[in-house]
Amino acid sequence: MAEPIRVNDLDPTLREEVAGLLKGYDFSNCLTCGMCTAGCKYSDLVEDNDPRKFIRKVALGLREEVENDPFVWSCNMCERCTVECPMGVNIAALTRAFRGKTAMPPGHLQHIADDHIRTGNQMAVEQLDYDETLEWLEEELQKELNDPNYKIPIDKPDADFMFGFNAREVKHYPHELQTILHVFYAAKANYTLSSRRWDATNICLFTGKNDEFQEISRPLFEEVERLNAKELIVTECGHAFRSSKMFQRSFWKGKQFPVRHIVELYADWIKEGRLKLDKSKNPLPVTLHDPCNTVRKEGVYEPQRYVIKHVVEDYREMNPDGKYNICCGAGGGALAVAATKQQRMAKAKPKVDQLVATGAKIGCIPCHNCIDQFNDMNKFYKLGMKMHHLSTLIENALVPDDAPEAPAAE
């Protein structure tokens, strides 16, 4: 039997406090209907994942219970609950507000934020290591492209775009940055990398600490302004894209410019004929994951599908897809929170079921955070699949300029 709620435990100031943090969050919009819990794929899989209970605790003013509720950090902030809510109540925003009130976030979250503020990137890559990595990639691309004059453009003024990427692409996966730069070369892109601030990620998207959020993202935007690039293009990283868009909307007061996901740029290049592609080079069946931060939260749905249909022969859609697609289970900073791998793999099961149902042999995962989770679930559930970023599939499909035209896509 549930414990009774005692009047003395209620704090009527809690709702107003939270509403202030969220610029007028209206709790009267909540109908207590439970559609949020019905929409949460994890409410029946793991403990402490009931969004309806959480929002009711806040609305009632159960301050102590809410501030110690495991939901605050077990929620993946994927907003699957919100798309099912008839009133559009954003429980992820509520969760983030409570995270921001936590003195010391769990796991590695605060350590990552501190490293980013100190070094300019979340992986604490020092300037010398960054410079040497780019020099090495330049040499590798000169050989790969058979172009001894190839140079990575750094601090180039007035470029069409500055490329903001993920520190993983420097510290752990430089071959993925090499792949992206190869595609840029094939498209004859007029772009630049910054020598100073290049990491577009922002772990404070998950900690809710807005002062640190601004401190992390502002220097990246200042670099776009300094170099006078026409726009900022963000790599295949859902939280880097979401962070950049959110910072621009809420905090950036400088020069205005578009912030776009790299899949949007790829789609434009294919439409313009700047990338010569042969999708027969990717013959295995491929399915596509919709990262929550890219698709559900920022609405970028069509460009990646336009691209993938031009670079693979056998594309298979997951069901459901788009804004109703299922989170992979690693959102909300779960990879860096003190959550067990066992819990992440339990949350991965609905996504595993989606993957298996498609019969695909390759998962296209246009997000760094998500692909780490997919690689873990691939091993844990013994799926025998390959997981790739979209950039890899594009590179596979590239044909040289002097090659004959591939058949037009239907």
- The CATH code of the domain that includes 22 is 1.10.1060.10
Same domain, 144 and 292: no
pTM for the whole structure: 0.94
Predicted confidence at residue 180, as pLDDT, reads 98
CA–CA distance, 346 with 49 (Å, rounded to integer): 12
What is the DSSP code (8-state) at residue 384?
Answer: -
Q: Please indicate, yes or no, whether residues 332 and 262 belong to a single structural domain of this protein.
A: no
- Same domain (yes/no): 232, 261: yes
pLDDT at 406: 47
242-293 pLDDT per residue, tens: 999 999 999 999 999 999 999 999 999 999 999 999 999 999 999 999 999 9
* Inside any domain, residue 408: no
Residues 57 and 129 in one domain: no
For residue 407, is it within any domain? no
Indicate the residue among 218, 251, 267 that finishes a domain: 267
Residues 342 and 322 in one domain: yes
Residue written as tokens 């403990």?
47
60 and 114, same structural domain? no
> Which residue type, as a one-letter code, is found at position 111?
H
410 within domain boundaries: no
Same domain, 146 and 257: yes
Point out which residues pair with 364 in neighbouring strands: 288, 388
Looking at residue 67, its pLDDT comes to 87
Query: Is residue 77 in a domain?
Result: yes
Per the structure, the count of domains in the chain is 3
pLDDT value at residue 26: 74
Find all residues with CB under 8 Å of 341, minimum gap 6, and list them. 376, 380
Among 267, 300, 317, which residue terminates a domain? 267
Q: Do 254 and 371 lie in a common domain?
A: no
Query: Does some domain include residue 299?
Result: yes
Same domain flag for 92 and 217: no
Sign of the alpha-carbon dihedral angle for 129, 130, 135, 141: positive
Is 2 a member of any domain? no
Domain that holds residue 45: 7-100
Query: Do 231 and 310 fall within a single domain?
Result: no
**Shared-domain flag, residues 147 and 288:** no
Place of tokens 């998950």: 206
How far apart CA 197 and CA 260 sit, in angstroms, is 17
Write out residues in the chain with pLDDT < 50, as ranges: 406, 408-410
Other beta carbons less than 10 A from residue 180's beta carbon: 22
Instruction: Look at residue 337 and give its three-state secondary structure.
Output: coil
Listed residues 267, 288, 320: the one ending a domain? 267
